[in-house]
Structure 1
């Protein structure tokens, strides 16, 4: 059974909560990703997604100088790198998550898994499709 460490994207960029949303958007653009874990004092305290920037900042008329802390999602879900693809797909489905931070057993961030990462592996096509269907349903 494949584990998340086999399908995750390693080398995750982490942003400081005092950075601006303009800086976050630039990092997302330059790195071609849609989620940045937010780290403070060597701890993951949340995450900011491209959707957070659009819905919580731009749509509300906030400036690019707004801090990441003001629009980030707190209390994010995550999985361990040695958990199965099925476990991640189930969690993503239950909580309508498109991107999931992955940590090691020392609670250090080691990667990100997106729905596309799951779908790219034949063993995960069923769970990833189920997760996508659940996430795509209106809440």
Structure 2
């Protein structure tokens, strides 16, 4: 089964020059804990609620700081034609709960989450992935 068959399509993005306050309000409005960061039709980062708390507020930045000040720049992604099982293994290895999905031109086309795998694929794959994600790891950048 391909990622494109179960991914969530049309993800809402935030720009790197928007403020953390704007991003947090958007997260609240759409009930999400992360946002892909896009610029000029390209994926340039990911922003999570944890990024806002740790790299933003925890680092002394206020709601007027830019998304680019707190986002994760080293984005792990997959392609829409990748096999679900391979991507799920990578998610477990990298300890991420969701991954942006790009097309052949590396343009953002969706997001794949552990929840997508559980609901649309199978609970066993999702459970194994989540077990790997939950393993203690070193510090996160």
Q: TM-score, normalised by structure 1?
A: 0.92
Q: 1:130 aligns with which of 104, 128, 131?
A: 128
2:2 matches 1:3:
yes
Aligned positions of 1:1-139 closer than 5 A: 2-121=1-120, 123-139=121-137
Question: Do the aligned residues in 2 keep the contact of 1:25 with 1:50 (CA within 8 Å)?
Answer: yes
Structure 2 segments unaligned to the other structure (5+ residues):
none
Superposition RMSD in Å: 1.3
Structure 1 segments unaligned to the other structure (5+ residues):
none
Q: Secondary structure at the match of 1:97?
A: coil
Q: Secondary structure at the match of 1:37?
A: strand
Shift of 1:54: 1.4
Shift of 1:107: 1.6
Cα distance in 2 for residues equivalent to 1:101 and 1:4? 11
The total of aligned residue pairs comes to 137
Q: TM-score, normalised by structure 2?
A: 0.91
